[in-house]
Amino acid sequence: MSVENKVYVVDDDLSARNGLTRLLRTAGYAVQAFDSANKFLKSLGSEVSGCLVLDIRMPDMSAEELADELKQRNTNLSIIVVSGEDCAELKRKAQEIKAAVFFRKPVDGTALLDAINWSMNPSINGKDQKKKNQSNEK
């Protein structure tokens, strides 16, 4: 499986983390799961791409801090946010960290798999067109 098909799950809820991991592995993704943002960051190598499924409320680091750190490291991760709550404040935070999608737990498995596929596939989500436009502008 290619590095591009790697999905990272960061959720402090063991049940949610295990459920998401099982779903993603069954769908054919290489999955690494973490119970904290710090453990996730410590595991990252120099070239990181794929998708991060992130619980927006983690005890050790805010989603904003994690997104800032990922940006500083020049990672190529799309972010999908999951949360036990569905409120305007959390949706705003998800937008601020440029999350591709926001899901309320429990997450619909089919919708999550579709969102991951969409977020990691440039020909579907338009990222390849943006790259073409940027290189044409140079």
**Res 4: pLDDT:** 57
State which residues form the domain around 89.
Answer: 3-137
* 137 burial level (CB within 10 Å; 0-12, 13-18, 19+): exposed
Whether the predicted pLDDT of 110 surpasses 60: yes
User: Rounded to an integer, what distance in angstroms lies between the CA atom of residue 31 and that of residue 51?
Assistant: 10
Q: Kind of pairing, strands 30-34 and 76-83?
A: unpaired
Whether the predicted pLDDT of 102 surpasses 80: yes
- Max intra-chain CA distance, the chain: 48
How much is the mean pLDDT over the chain? 88
- Report the domain count for the chain: 1
Beta partners for 9? Answer: 33, 53
pLDDT category of residue 123 using cuts at 50, 70 and 90 = confident
| 30 vs 133, more confident | 30
Least confident of 4-8, 12-16, 72-76, 87-91: 4-8
CATH of the domain at 42: 3.40.50.2300
pLDDT category of residue 13 using cuts at 50, 70 and 90 = very high
